[in-house]
Structure 1
């Protein structure tokens, strides 16, 4: 698969920072405050082994990031029954802050917004919820999204 990347923001108790999130379909990567992070999913992002994180620069739990918010937009293809493909934007906000984690996802397509009303952290389930809301004949195409 072709790697993809998206611009976004990281926020925690120390402030906010612009970042780029990349994925090859199996692992997510980003760089926050000069430290490389990787993980199989957003809630498992941890410092890349061998590169020490500054003490106090992040809230870590078992080596993984915690108590933070990630926000990003990503282009996604929407296909119609006639084979035409249009680009839409998926806006995502992942909050791993106490008391409970939260994942907000909204698809902006054709002048409408399709949002998941489910309180889940499973990205695939949230995408399935959005897929069910799309107009007849429109389908969110499988992509690297499904691997996250």
Structure 2
């Protein structure tokens, strides 16, 4: 398995803007340092100050995580081109986090924008796609025929928990239970996702990639094909 990645990026809020680097293990750990303060979280919308105490440097927080800010970062993304092999492109990501909407109501806004630069063109997710599953599905639908994203989101061995998931990094990998996962055809019953869920290897980011990748094809597991149909 790969050891980690470094994503160049930028942090911006009403106090200013600065270049940052996000370090990730591709699973559920993202770290960065902003204005000299170290942050860590399992997702880009869950970055809290290490140690748990609010830093003296000015930031805005909601439920312990950064808010009222713009996070931007670049992710290397493998793309398979029919007849040409696999190449690494760049996925530009921007996450705008609003402020607290009120007690028990979360943030008043959370907007994700992802843009894949490929062959001199830009392929962007649709407005309203609020997580990486939807964003990458939309980008795949817009890519030319014969061009396929090569990442955990499009892998034959990945699936989501039926109760839902957050922005990113909650995609279950079943690479160590392939035979069992091949049988999954829905939610319940002996061949349902609940029956095999405890056997998943780990949770991964949608943009991650390992050497056991296989393109998602006829077997669709619980979550369905990639890309899923627009009306799902």
Partner of 1:59: 60
Please identify the structure whose Cα radius of gyration is greater.
2
CA contact (8 A) 1:35 1:53 kept: no
Distance 1:11 1:44 in 2: 16
- 1:145 and 1:86 map into 2 onto residues whose CA distance is 19
Give, in whole Å, the separation in 2 of the partners of 1:118 and 1:46: 27
Aligned to 1:91: 92
Contact persistence 2:9–2:72 (CA under 8 A):
yes
Which whole-Å CA distance do the structure 1 matches of 2:54 and 2:111 have between them?
25
- TM-score normalised according to structure 2 size: 0.58
Gaps of 5+ in 1: none
* Correspondence for 1:75: 76
> TM-score with structure 1 length normalisation?
0.88
8 Å contact from structure 2 (residues 77, 207) kept in 1 = no
Work out which of the residue numbers 117, 121, 128 in structure 2 matches 1:112: 121
Instruction: Could you list the structure 1 runs, at least 4 aligned residues long, displaced by more than 3 angstroms after superposition.
Output: none
What residue number does 2:141 align with?
132
- State the distance in 1 between where 2:55 and 2:62 align: 14
Tell me the residue number matched to 2:131: 122
RMSD: 2.0
Give the corresponding residue for 2:47: 45
Q: Deviations over 1:85-119 (max 9, x none)?
A: 12222111110025422111111101111111131
The higher relative CO (CA closer than 8 Å, separation ≥ 6) is in 1
- Counterpart of 2:58 in 1: which secondary structure? coil
Is 1:146 matched up with 2:206?
A: yes
- Secondary structure of the 1:129 match is helix
Tell me if structure 1 keeps the 8 A contact 2:49–2:55.
Answer: no
CA distance 1:131–1:2, change in 2 (3 Å):
farther
Q: Which has the higher strand share?
A: 1
Q: Distance in 1 between matches of 2:94 and 2:84?
A: 30
* DSSP 3-state at the match of 1:146: coil
**Displacement after TM superposition at 1:53 (Å):** 4.1
* Unpaired segments ≥5 residues, structure 2: 100-107, 153-203, 209-232
